[in-house]
Amino acid sequence: MGNPEAGTSRIHNPIDFGKTGRQAGHLQLPPDPTTGSAGERVPIVCIANGSGPTVLVSAGNHGDEYAGQLAALRLIRDIEPAQVSGRIIVVPIISTEASRANTRLWPSGANFNRSFPGNPDGPVIEQLAHFFSAVLFPEADVVIDMHSSGRDGWIEPCSHMCVPKDPVQRKAMLEAMEMWNSDFHFFYTSAGNYLPNEAERQGKIVVTTEFGGGTRIPVAVQALAWNGLVNVLRHVGVLEGEVVTRASLGLPPPIFVDCRYDNGSVGEAVSGLMDFIKAPVAGLLEVLVETGTPVAEGQPIGRIWSHLDPTRQPVDITSPFEGYLMGMKTLPVVEQGQSLALIGRQVDRSDVLAKG
Ligand SMILES: [Zn+2]
């Protein structure tokens, strides 16, 4: 299968990827008849100097995930062309309207991270996905797309990766992922229509992240977002400066966990592509375990109290297997069937490299 064709895009791109120095502008999207939007402007910056790899840095794939957007904006401000060998292309806030509205999804209700590889003749969101697939990914060697959990949840701050089949690509991705120097890294899979799926299909080194979530960004989490981003850019050789490792920082090795869908492993509780535990009933969620801590099989990690009947016993949410609690809903109001918790099984780095 070839790459999507760039010439078919209707999105106006002000950046000349052949030029050195700093360029800043906006991708001009066409009007969206489904929402009445006059046509969004998506900021894009290219910082190029000399020879070296091209890295695409993006955030705001989901609008309400802000730590990555802030790190990308700071990158644009702080990096001078003289510090760069190659090119850094930054799209700091992909879903600009959703970011302003504090929503995960676009005003049309569509999810940018389920819109790949995109369609130049489809809805505007698919046109933008197609622009990434047909114009931005082919320019890049490395693709970094930064996420958090969104406004209602928390995922342990970390870098992660959607595991590709190719062992050479997998190793390069794992080594880049580790350069974020987070306490955890997790492996996931996806349905094939995510941004990393298409970038990986085109052979890129792809690193994705989770930086907590909710409506408060702890200073330490924003620092992890920034320091990790800078360190990965140094690791791939596009940015000047010394690479640091967890060992050089005096930190213990990271913990690798597998959050991939394991068919049937958690029975009724699982739905979707990560092992998210779903709420069996509606009510008020009391969290019993902090993310990033080990959990035993059968251990209660939360309980759901009834809104209506204070005499009713709460419903316990238990871990279906031994692992680490990687993510948890933080907004206590839950609806039946909502994703509540993400558990990862600890895995060996060498096993992931050997088996995928
Ligand atoms: Zn996201």
The pLDDT tens digits of the residues spanning 287-297 come to 999 999 999 99
Q: What's the gap in Å between 58 CA and the centre of ligand 1?
A: 11
Residue 98 pLDDT exceeds 70:
yes
Expressed in percent and rounded to 5, the helix, strand and coil fractions of the chain are 25, 30, 45
Q: Is 139 helix (H, G, I), strand (E, B) or coil?
A: helix
Which fold, 259-355?
OB fold (Dihydrolipoamide Acetyltransferase, E2P) (2.40.50)
Regarding beta strands 323-329 and 339-346, do their DSSP bridges make them parallel or antiparallel, or are they unpaired? antiparallel
pLDDT recorded at residue 275:
67
Say how many residues make up the chain: 356
Q: Which one, of 85, 201, 192, lies nearest residue 134 by Cα?
A: 201
State both tokens at 197.
């799926």
Q: Provide the whole-model pTM.
A: 0.94
For the domain covering 6-253, report its CATH number: 3.40.630.10
Query: Where is 346: in which H helix or E strand?
Result: strand 339-346
pLDDT recorded at residue 272:
41
Q: Which one, of 146, 163, 288, lies nearest residue 209 by Cα?
A: 146
- Those residues whose beta carbon sits under 5 angstroms from the ion ligand 1 are 62, 65, 147
Q: What's the gap in Å between 147 CA and the centre of ligand 1?
A: 4
- As annotated, the residues of the chain forming the CATH 3.40.630.10 domain(s) are 6-253
pLDDT recorded at residue 189:
80
- As annotated, the residues of the chain forming the CATH 2.40.50.100 domain(s) are 259-355
The pLDDT of 56-72, averaged and rounded, is 98
Give the gyration radius of the chain's Cα atoms. 20
User: In which residue are the tokens 């955030």 written?
Assistant: 59
The angle formed by the CA atoms of residues 194, 196 and 200, to the nearest 5 degrees, is 125
Residue 115 has φ and ψ, to the nearest 5°, of -110, 10
Q: What's the gap in Å between 149 CA and the centre of ligand 1?
A: 6
Mean pLDDT across the chain: 93
Gap between the Cα atoms of 99 and 150, Å rounded: 11
Regarding beta strands 300-305 and 333-334, do their DSSP bridges make them parallel or antiparallel, or are they unpaired? unpaired
